Amino acid sequence: MARELRGAHVVVVGASGGLGAQIAAHLARAGARVSAIVRDHTRLDGANVSQYALADVTDHQALRTAFASVAPFDGVVNAAGVVAFGNVTDLDDATLARLFAVNAIAPIVMLRESAGYMSDGGFFVNISGVVATQPVAGMAAYSASKAAAWAAMTAAARELRRRRIDVIDARPPHTETRLATRPLAGVAPKMPEGLSPDVVAARIVVAVVSGERELPTDAFSSSASG
């Protein structure tokens, strides 16, 4: 459903990151009041974020407390994530567990914990990325963790339909967030230049306003040329 962001209260998880900061900025420009859930509040832009709560997204009790402390709200955007590179045969247990804890389990917990505080007609955006449906060799575990989140969001969208809550899965192509410079393991392969975080953030906010329920990779193609 289409919605007005002016006066809305939106929580951005990971609002201090390369993409999360841009999403917070675009939401603020649209007139929303933005709250953040982050691990380090010193990197937040106070011009765009009105309040914050601290939590590691893998700490479910901390997430529960964080959402309660900024409630109520009209929407949530999850921009937190981690990446790892390398073949499955070189994958260690700790990297595998962390990938799924942050990229797959945490978004499900966020949706579970935030839904009770969210107004009917609200929205939850998870950024799974292109690899969720187009897995990449050398990034099998990362792709799988994002695919798990995509599946969960797709099913949850049906579960929350009676409350008119849009669960939006965003799958932008490679974006220059600099996340690849901080992998859990491995080294990023040579990749063509990706989209700017500003362009991706703008497209996500447009989708929220216009009531789009899914943002597949090709939905960002017009953004790339705009």
User: For the segment 34-56, what is each residue's pLDDT rounded down to a tens digit?
Assistant: 999 999 999 999 999 999 999 99
CATH superfamily to which 9-225 belongs: NAD(P)-binding Rossmann-like Domain (3.40.50.720)
The predicted pLDDT at position 225 comes to 39
Residue 226 has pLDDT above 50, yes or no: no
Average pLDDT over residues 189-204: 94
The predicted pLDDT at position 199 comes to 97
The predicted pLDDT at position 190 comes to 87
pTM over 0.85: yes
Residue 214 has pLDDT above 60, yes or no: yes
191 confidence band (pLDDT: 50, 70, 90)? confident
Average pLDDT over residues 16-31: 97
The predicted pLDDT at position 223 comes to 52
Average pLDDT over residues 4-12: 97
Q: What is the pLDDT of residues 120-171, one digit of tens each?
A: 999 999 999 999 999 999 999 999 999 999 999 999 999 999 999 999 999 9
Average pLDDT over residues 178-185: 93
How many residues are listed for the chain in this entry?
226
224 confidence band (pLDDT: 50, 70, 90)? very low
58 confidence band (pLDDT: 50, 70, 90)? very high
The predicted pLDDT at position 222 comes to 55
Average pLDDT over residues 198-226: 86
Residue 29 has pLDDT above 90, yes or no: yes
Q: What is the pLDDT of residues 59-110, one digit of tens each?
A: 999 999 999 999 999 999 999 999 999 999 999 999 999 999 999 999 999 9
